[in-house]
Chain A
């Protein structure tokens, strides 16, 4: 304890007379613009999937309903692969963001789902030999990415040189997959994807085992 009697109280009082009204501007966010990632993409695996139950594709704000599409695996550069909590580079097929399944930074192989409509013949309308597979980094999360913005991303990507995969590579990717897969629902598709992860990104053992957790019912 420091006991002290000081003639400070007058000073306290006089000091209190001074005032200033100060406003501080609130902080600004500095979002990164849509950045087209010129990272090379090579399609390794493409498997058409067909589900009994449709699901909502959560990676675009309109959440298009899908019951079919492609399970794909692509090789990509390390500069786009690590997953972060902030904005991540997104892989697009055309104007559709791919639903990412694995982390991929160790293997360099990204695995995901891209929905497609189905034509009257039961064929997928999304043509992997026509739709560019490209990276972009929008300034919003996928859940907030509007179709218009996704279109703008595609247009900018094409302007920047994004092109579709060569037909022979697409054919090879289909051959790697060995034909379409028919499953009950989105959940079972994820479970199935564990096999693909194990094949192309084998160090992701926790992800694989997690997807293969025994069903309760």
Chain B
């Protein structure tokens, strides 16, 4: 749980609880995973079922615990009022509560396994069984004064045990294929829980296929999501004339479906579709179409009869084209998501084809945006229509594994935006190498990169998104920037020519910015020498009030320095306080690094496909682990350090969206 801020957010209930106790408990992060290197522990939300749950205390940050023998509880989660009314501690882990004496030294010595994987993640159709973690200092079996708790909150528990999201949910599913008979483009294939009559109103997912595809080719999405209590309607899509007609078809089918609920399947769905919670999922031309559809409602050029723009909670595009560009293909402020296949032989992402660059749509999204990039996955792998994968490149993944990844990722994605699922967020940004559904394919060809950017989250500060203040020594936030890395260049992140061939172009290999767009970032490189890129706060600033430093970075495809590494790129995220104390966390601590470009050829000479961003999030408190001495409330510089002392010996990267978050 994000202790500091969640506790404040709990509001009146929290104050009520505190008033019951003369000396309040300390609300803090406790549950997480150990790491093989500094900061040696990460506090997380989601724990895969069957995996270990650990508690860790940094003795330097909680000195009062040193020398104390305490009982450590993993308990069923309660809200604030629940803890106030029943402070008893009942451990749910195998073997019950642990007794542990905290010692001076480091966090590794104060890391305890609370559970070896015995806790079920079965939460029915929901994601995650919530739990709280308590350090019972006085060992009285009650949450009371002087104790420490992770999860004293009305919104967020201390952690969640999550089941394998690649596996179906609890409901058997049914499918209806029918023709509404209004136009030539209103055949639909709808999936729903077989017991829908006993359920209330269920969220609606609308699937809009791509050109030459078929509306019956999304069973893997429809059956999976219906088993978790969603109604999934996939419709025939008029993609042949183009993306504008595809958008029209998405709009009309959504309306017509809702309108026809009394008659579809004899009315089996009538009264069971929550039209205020709609997700649009589009593939290729349909992937652009769903964004255009949203834009039309936003612009008022289409007025739905049975839903409103606020009912569209998530728009997700699978390998979308970008024929129309900005401003027609504009996700505006909707929660936006993108799927990209690295081996796509159709919407291929090459520099010579602007309309084939999927990331344009992602970067246009103004608020929460996220993407999943899958090396070795072709255009046809995303549907289940059989035939060609429309794929080219090495290490092809194929349809079965792609669908397994889709199932495991799409369910948490949708849960995040339909039900506000808290553990779902972990699926959206934690490094795939360290956290993924247990049923996800293990094949070494399966490489997954995730991008995630918050919207206007409370307390979020953008240190640098390179959108303003184009001098290289000033960030977009006005904070000074210092660097010793080479070739620092800010600009629009769009390859300026038609190939990815290694060249002197600063933005070679970038495809996130398109015609009419303005997605800017910075590129730089280092070559065998320790160097840095840093944001400098004269006099120091209280970085410790934030929880996380987040940024996205990518390797520069086919660059000499990239090919020299030919692997994940690693470097340090560094804080420097006003006493010039340095604390460094290497990005590899959380699994992998910045992924090497997919080694696909063509699109010019050499190997390596488009520069593929992934998001790195580093917890700020972790910089203070193990007596680092860093003063998080007086930080002079937030930086990235590169070179032989900090990770990869050489490299060239793109960087963007450097943010401080309260999450």
Contact = CB atoms under 8 A, between A and B. Distances in A.
B495 A17 contact: no
B238 interface: yes
B222 to A, nearest CB: 14
A11 B483 CA distance: 9
Interface stretch (B174-182, B307-315, B391-399, B548-556): B174-182
Interface string A1-18: 111111011011111111
B42 interface: no
B38 interface: yes
B240 A99 contact: yes
Contacts of B623: 1
B484 A143 contact: no
B482 A15 contact: yes
Interface of B is mostly: loop
B582 A6 contact: yes
Given A17-B473, A214-B178, A27 B496 contact: yes
A217 B263 contact: yes
Contacts of A14: 482
A86 B321 contact: yes
Interface in A159-202: 186-187, 189-191
B211 interface: yes
Nearest to B325: A29
B491 A27 contact: no
A216 interface: yes
B584 to A, nearest CB: 5
A18 B481 CA distance: 10
A186 to B, nearest CB: 5
B531 to A, nearest CB: 9
A85 B179 contact: no
A25 B351 CA distance: 14
Of the four ranges (under 10, 10 to 19, 20 to 34, 35 or more), the interface on chain A belongs to 35 or more
Interface of A is mostly: loop
A18 B351 CA distance: 31
B240 A214 contact: no
A141 interface: yes
Contact of A3 (B178, B495, B506, B583): B583
A83 to B, nearest CB: 3
Contacts of B241: 58-59, 141-143
Contacts of A18: 472-473
B513 interface: yes
B215 interface: yes
B495 A27 contact: yes
A58 B245 contact: yes
A100 to B, nearest CB: 5
A125 interface: no
Nearest to B572: A2
A135 B516 CA distance: 32
Given A83-B212, A144-B242, A1 B628 contact: yes
A216 B180 contact: yes
Given A16-B473, A100-B240, A27 B494 contact: yes
B626 to A, nearest CB: 5
B204 interface: no
Interface of A: 1-6, 8-9, 11-30, 55, 58-59, 82-86, 88, 99-100, 103, 141-144, 186-187, 189-191, 206-207, 209-211, 213-217
Given A28-B496, A206-B214, A206-B217, 19 more contacts: A1-B625, A3-B582, A11-B482, A24-B492, A28-B354, A29-B354, A29-B355, A55-B184, A58-B241, A83-B211, A141-B241, A186-B184, A187-B184, A191-B179, A210-B187, A214-B177, A215-B178, A216-B263, A217-B180
